[in-house]
Chains A and B, each alone.
Chain A
């Protein structure tokens, strides 16, 4: 069987072991990962989601009776593969802290106010051109006890499926010019400067909504396909 496979891009990814993130050493596996050539199960994946997206899921500012506190923002962009091909009809799921830097989660003990009008959860499908748009509130930074006086830069968590198990990605989108980048071990776990910067959205004046909301644009790139299956991999698949 000739199977399309997905390129590795190890440069752009954080390491398995990153002790600056203090909960990493107790959880990261000690033995080296076993390199696995991609086969059928890895080059296919769940193509689902449209049925999970409700009417207000891409607008986090209209999910309650009242409006949430904070700066209204639009976050928009495209989901692409490594060759620049748009990925249509794929599910994006996001979650974030409110304007004060507090998550709507029992475990979040940061003494900042909860907002009864903000859950901080969104979903949408990309359109035929791979585009997505969320309307939300600028999330606040929050402290997290990783080291003395540790603060997470403002971010939105993103989860994506792409079209194959291999493309699955959970990441975070950051905001331009955040003064907290320098001390954040999670952001800095990505060692390649170009890859690190690609997690930062751009302010997008054209996408702002006059008299209403600021806008940021952020493209997300999932792994691209190898041009042709390697011969030795093909042999293995024919076993």
Chain B
């Protein structure tokens, strides 16, 4: 085998990505009016509890049947038209939101949404996961990797609009971030 190529280094998204990256339909993992759709919304704060107004949050999740429209899904790609992807820049108050459907469980894993966080100050992406409080998360192998003391930071709470999920970069409630 030939020597692998050097992976291009990550660099900060910087303070001015808002000129290019936000999409009008970014927060809509599913179109407005989709039956059963709800919001996952929250706030992102830094180590002093101040809102982070210049972050980009992205989500990736399975469809309600737990499937991905992707050729590397060994169960076969599905063409349900489900985008599965969301992108939302935080506002001046650090708030973000996505309109989506609940992902189905995956083989051996509880329903979850993968999250990427990019912001000024970070040189690389932070990865976390959103789990749902009304699912059985007890046998999930990724939650099992997390110290039980911090597991709650990955579980959204029920809210009138759907689910609330806050992201704390530091502090007592620092969100658990993963190295994938």
Contacts and interface: CB of A to CB of B under 8 A. Distances in A.
Interface of A: 1-4, 7, 9, 11-16, 18, 21, 23-24, 26-31, 33-36, 38-48, 52, 80-84, 93-95, 103-105, 107-108, 119-122, 157, 159, 163-166, 168-172, 186-187, 189-190, 192, 194-196, 198-199, 220-224, 227, 236-239
A44 to B, nearest CB: 4
Contacts of A186: 11-12, 123
Given A24-B123, A107-B15, A4 B177 contact: no
Interface string B64-108: 000011101111000000011100000000000000000000111
A224 B58 CA distance: 22
Nearest 10 CB-CB pairings of A with B: A95-B20, A23-B121, A46-B85, A27-B121, A44-B70, A14-B123, A33-B179, A9-B7, A36-B178, A121-B20
B63 to A, nearest CB: 11
Contact of A198 (B9, B21, B70): B9
B57 interface: no
Contacts of A121: 19-20
Interface in B118-155: 118-127, 139, 141-142, 145-146, 150
B176 A12 contact: no
A80 B5 contact: yes
A190 B35 CA distance: 46
13 contacts: A1-B107, A12-B6, A27-B169, A39-B106, A40-B109, A41-B109, A46-B60, A95-B20, A159-B20, A165-B116, A169-B8, A170-B125, A220-B8
Interface string B1-42: 110111111111111111111010000000000000000000
B25 to A, nearest CB: 9
Task: Specify the main secondary structure of chain A where it touches its partner.
Answer: loop
B156 interface: no
Given A1-B107, A36-B179, A171 B112 contact: no
B60 A1 contact: no
A93 B123 contact: no
Given A28-B122, A157-B17, A171 B178 contact: no
A13 B7 CA distance: 8
B53 to A, nearest CB: 9
A95 B47 CA distance: 28
B121 A120 contact: no
A187 B145 CA distance: 33
Given A45-B60, A94-B20, A31 B150 contact: yes
Nearest to B112: A41
Contacts of B52: 27
A15 B170 CA distance: 16
Contacts of A104: 19
Given A1-B74, A46-B60, A168-B116, A30 B9 contact: no
Nearest to A122: B20
B154 to A, nearest CB: 10
B11 A42 contact: no
Nearest to A18: B123
B78 to A, nearest CB: 11
Contacts of A47: 69-70
A221 B6 contact: yes
A81 B112 CA distance: 27
Contacts of A237: 107-108
